[in-house]
Amino acid sequence: MKKDVLIVGGGITGLSLSWELSCLGINSILVEKAPFLGGHVSQFACKATETCQKCGACLLEDCLSKLAGAECSDILVNSTIDSFREASRKFNALILQRQSQVINEKCDDCGLCSKVCPVEGALLRPSLDSRLYISNNKCLKSLGIQCEACAQICPQGAIELAEKTKEIKIEASAVAVCTGFTPFDASRKPRLGYQRVPGVLTTLELDSLLRTGNFEPLLPADELKSVAFIQCVGSRDAKSGANYCSRICCGVSIRLARLLKNKYPQAESTIFYMDTQTFEREFDKTFGQAQNEMTFVRAMPAEIRSGEDGRPEVTYHGNDDTKQKVAFDLVILSIGIGPRDPDLPRSFPTLWNNRDGFIGSDDIDVSGGHPGIFVAGANQGPKSITDCVSQSILAASQIKKYLDRVKMGEQL
């Protein structure tokens, strides 16, 4: 298959880039490893209260609906790049696409398979998509264990666990790497109690619970009275190798606190911070208003433990110069954005190494350090959804410029 651009990664940046390229009349093919599109953004809830909070989560749906009508954008999910070769300004990639193990035409959504599956999260139903998927890194069968519980119980015979792959050869003139980020693993900070103390969640978990509608059943409406947000978990943290600001967490926490207040009017939020960052243009206004709506405490907690009543208890040094131990109903760790290994074949040209493990250029530029290779999105550095979209627009114009020069036979 001949294409102008190969896009690696089907998150918001890759999808938006695919749309922007199609607007410029450039053919692209997008390769996504997961069985569904949208990446991390597909887990984010809309944070609108009475008014829109401009979180950007809806930009993904926007992008997907636009792409559904686009003619020159192809998308391959469940696919990885197996090998990669460059010859006379053309990139040849061999794509392996795993065939879906659930036959959608037969599946009648009875839910029996989810009930018998011994592994949590092996059968996925991404919220953007009503179809059922089998997660290949969690399914026991794909890990080499003889388990066919779901296939045996399915009354429709809609599950075929035998793995089938399809090979697709692609020749492209340019490659855009949009592989996104890794959220900080909060269990690397054991003193904050993540996965040890009940009631401690990350912002990402809260976001996806709110999105899927699983949060409300977890806590009855009158039981959520106090919420603590801990900022800079895995950002501005030299010890964890993340000595940078993740740029999004202050906004995320304020929006989530407002959303919770909107859903649970008696819920009071306290935000523990060391430094609030104002990257968004309207942030000063947002922050000023937020100071009236929630409590800001300039202190990082020393530890979070399970208190006597079972609620998480935060130890911090209060504004009155004394040590405080306060129990909250819910503690949310505002986790940062970390670099992600793009998981490309070894024969892929070496990408520029930016600082802290991120790739590509370390300013607004989208070049990847090799002619024809571009890097955009959160794999280049911490970015908000809107920043990712605007960078994809920049990438589209840069790619167009590059393709035009290649067509003219110019020396690069």
Partner 1 sequence: MTKINLNRLDPQFKNRVAEQPGGEGLKACFACKACTAACPIQPLDKRYDPRKIIRMVLLGMKDQVLGSDFIWLCSSCYSCQEVCPQNVRFTEVMYAIKNLAAQEACIPPGLMAQRSLLRKHGRLYEVGEFENEKRLKFGLPPIIEHPEDFEKLLPDQSVGV
**Interface residue list for partner 1 (CB under 8 A):** 191, 232, 236-240, 274-275, 298-303, 315-317, 321-323
Q: To which H or E segment does residue 105 belong? A: none
81 beta partners: 95
Least Cα distance to 175 among 345, 368, 408, 353 occurs for: 368
Q: What is the largest CA-CA distance in the chain?
A: 73
**Shortest Å distance, C-beta 197 to partner 1:** 16
5 beta partners: 28, 174
**Shortest Å distance, C-beta 301 to partner 1:** 6
CB of 101 within 8 A of CB of 184?
no
Give whichever of 90 and 188 is closer to partner 1, judged by the CB atom: 188
Collapsing DSSP to helix, strand or coil, 278 comes out as: coil
Least Cα distance to 28 among 42, 13, 14 occurs for: 14
Measure the CA dihedral 132/137/139/144, to 10°.
Answer: 150
Give whichever of 275 and 343 is closer to partner 1, judged by the CB atom: 275
**Shortest Å distance, C-beta 138 to partner 1:** 32
CB of 272 within 8 A of CB of 229?
yes
| Pairing mode of beta strands 323-327, 330-335 | unpaired
Give whichever of 264 and 316 is closer to partner 1, judged by the CB atom: 316
Query: In whole angstroms, what is the distance from residue 273 CA to residue 257 CA?
Result: 14
Give whichever of 327 and 399 is closer to partner 1, judged by the CB atom: 327
Give how far Cα 273 sits from Cα of 20, 95, 138, 229, 236, Å: 38, 45, 36, 8, 11
Handedness of CA 206, 207, 213, 214 (dihedral sign): negative
Give whichever of 212 and 243 is closer to partner 1, judged by the CB atom: 243
**Shortest Å distance, C-beta 406 to partner 1:** 46
Give whichever of 61 and 303 is closer to partner 1, judged by the CB atom: 303
Give whichever of 60 and 327 is closer to partner 1, judged by the CB atom: 327
**Shortest Å distance, C-beta 317 to partner 1:** 4
**Shortest Å distance, C-beta 304 to partner 1:** 11
**Shortest Å distance, C-beta 9 to partner 1:** 30
Least Cα distance to 331 among 253, 252, 251, 250 occurs for: 253
**Shortest Å distance, C-beta 387 to partner 1:** 24
Give whichever of 131 and 325 is closer to partner 1, judged by the CB atom: 325
Count of C-beta atoms within a 10 Å radius of residue 160: 16
**Shortest Å distance, C-beta 302 to partner 1:** 4
Query: In whole angstroms, what is the distance from residue 178 CA to residue 400 CA?
Result: 17
**Shortest Å distance, C-beta 146 to partner 1:** 45
**Shortest Å distance, C-beta 313 to partner 1:** 12
Tokens of 60: 């993904």
Give whichever of 296 and 352 is closer to partner 1, judged by the CB atom: 296
Give whichever of 321 and 363 is closer to partner 1, judged by the CB atom: 321
Give whichever of 156 and 243 is closer to partner 1, judged by the CB atom: 243
Tell me the DSSP string of 20-87.
HHHHTT--EEEE-SSSSS-GGGGGPPP--SSS-----THHHHHHHHHHHT-SSEEEE-SEEEEEEEEE
